Amino acid sequence: MIYASKFGNLSFGMSRESIINWHIAWPKLFLLILTGYQLLKTHPIMLDLCFKKML
C-alpha cells in the first residue's frame, strides 16, 4: 500500500493500471501515426483526396 501511494504521487495521480495501459497504448499510437504519415507521404493523391473530403 505504501508503495502504491508513492507510485501514485509520482505519476500525477494516475493509478498503476492506467500507467501500464499507457505504456501499451503509446507505442501502438506512435506506430499508427508513423504508418499513416508514411502512407500519405508516398501517396500524394490520397493526401489530396483526404484534404478535399475534410473541406
pLDDT tens digits, 36-50:
888 777 777 766 777
Provide the residue ranges of all domains of the chain, joining segments of one domain with +. Answer: 2-54
Sorting pLDDT into bands at 50, 70 and 90, what band is 9?
Answer: very low
DSSP letter, residue 12? T
pLDDT band at 54 (very low <50, low <70, confident <90, very high): confident
SS3 category, 40 = helix
Nearest-10 Cα torsion for 25, 29, 31, 33: 180
pLDDT at res. 14: 65
How far from chain centre, in Å, is Cα 47?
Answer: 21
Residues 6 or more apart in contact with residue 11 via CB below 8 angstroms: 19
Q: By the 8 A CB rule, do 34 and 26 touch?
A: no
